[in-house]
A and B are shown apart, each in its own frame.
Chain A
Amino acid sequence: MFFGYYPGCSLHSTAAEYDASTRALFEALNIPLKEIPDWNCCGATSGHSLNTYLCHSLSLRNMVLAEGVASHLVVPCAACYNALRSTQAFLKSGTKEAKKLQEDIKLSIGQEYKGMLEVHHLLEVLGTPDILSLIKEKQKVSLAGLKPAAYYGCLLTRPPKVVNFEADAEQPQLMDRLLKALGAEPVSWSHKTECCGASLSIPAPEIVEELVKKIVQAAVRAGANLLVTACPLCQTNLDSRQPEDYKLPVLYISEILALALGISAPWLNKHLIDPSPVLKSCNF
């Protein structure tokens, strides 16, 4: 078993710890990840904001390249995942524009999309029964004492019919299930799919601060001692824009799983809010 791997731009810079921990995790599980050669940016929010067709074209190039590597692609970034799934839905619509997109990409890159690729978010891969039991088999450290608030955000879950992440888009459970399986006690809380403001962080930080404050307050109110995300935009916003006095650490799901597998975690010092007090209090 192996997977194609699409890290996306954030995982090569602001979210380097997400990339490092994901790779380490798969290595420990003996599942090879093959990075898509010469992948490009998915266009993110800016792409579809100004030119949706461009966004689909960028994703389709990645899909063609990915198809040459593996039939299953794992994507840790929720924004990239959303872009790829949206493009797949767009192609499936079979409209005139969708056909033009296929033609255009053939002309631009000299290759055709065969339509065989399956796109998965990292969480979906980790949550498959086989891989979850493999993780449990290799677990060295219990996550007991951790009370994470599993935060899914927008791009992973919406629009539900396009991304098809989980049946109930208002109440996703996958991350909670993973955390629980390894001994943590995920809290039940109100804001797991509220928006963090994503790309507004730079041009409209006052909005993002307001949204992040509500999310962090809700997590604390529910008794969480840390937030867990599966999206580099969410992690960066929650880590950098929460009110000074909260200091609620924000870790990636891959970092938590790596801890459970006893993998050394040099990347933990990359976070603005130091997670070590909480991790120490839980005997990590």
Chain B
Amino acid sequence: MQENKVLPQPHLLSWVQETSGQPVSRCYQCYKCTGGCPVASFMDILPHQIVRCLHLGLEDELLKSKSIWLCASCHTCKARCPNGIDIASINDVLKAKVISRGLVPASSTIATFHREFLASVEKYGRAHELGLVMAYKWKTRDYWKDLSLGVKMFRKGKFRLWPDRIQNKEQLRSIFKRARGEA
């Protein structure tokens, strides 16, 4: 730890403020966000600490943190923060930064899930839950977890065997391209 040597760096802070639209510098460390966060007990950096790390410019710590992936985007922090800061939106831009820099996500399972989900949407226009779960299992080599639950849900007819597709694939392709900045 190098806590005594950290000098605040403004670059990360202003980038996050701008891209997430959150007034990060207003935070006065009241801990209300952490108090109400449902996944705080699973996090390595707590919600109020995420904001503090931004103030201090601790970029590596944040990009390597599991918390940004574990955040359930429940917006409880946003609803309760006296300064209206939405930590879910902060975590979203940090996750996007991890991906765009080609870094290894601290939770590979959650990152893989999100990627497979979007791959399904890009391919069909709609999420195909069964295909997505199977692709996820394949990528994470985790075939046994939840197998019996999967079988139970399958028997109940919860999954559609074949994907539901939209007609206008061209429009979708264009939307994905533009969102990736390729067009």
Contact = CB atoms under 8 A, between A and B. Distances in A.
A195 B74 contact: yes
Interface in A139-191: 154, 157-160, 169-170
B101 interface: no
A203 B152 CA distance: 18
Interface centre among B145, B164, B175 (most CB of A within 10 A): B175
A107 B178 contact: yes
Interface residues of A, number: 55
Given A58-B175, A154-B74, A204-B109, A40 B166 contact: yes
A274 to B, nearest CB: 11
B126 A38 contact: no
B99 A203 contact: no
Contact of A57 (B157, B160, B178): B178
Contacts of A157: 79
A90 B128 CA distance: 28
A175 B83 CA distance: 30
A200 B117 contact: no
Most buried by B among A54, A109, A203: A203
B contact face: mostly helix, strand, loop, or mixed: helix
B176 interface: yes
B113 A199 contact: yes
The size bracket of the interface on B is: 35 or more
Contacts of B99: 50
A154 B164 contact: no
A1 interface: no
B12 interface: no
B121 A58 contact: yes
Nearest to A195: B74
Interface string B145-181: 1100100110011111000101110011011101110
Interface string A26-51: 00000000000011110111111111
B50 to A, nearest CB: 15
B121 A41 contact: yes
A49 B175 contact: no
Given A9-B127, A195-B74, A271-B156, 10 more contacts: A13-B129, A14-B153, A40-B126, A50-B114, A159-B78, A195-B72, A197-B72, A200-B72, A203-B136, A204-B109
By Cβ-Cβ distance, the 5 closest A-B pairs, closest first, are A54-B179, A195-B74, A46-B117, A158-B75, A108-B174
Interface of A: 9-10, 12-14, 16, 38-41, 43-54, 57-58, 61, 93, 104-105, 107-109, 154, 157-160, 169-170, 194-195, 197-200, 202-205, 207, 211, 240, 269-272
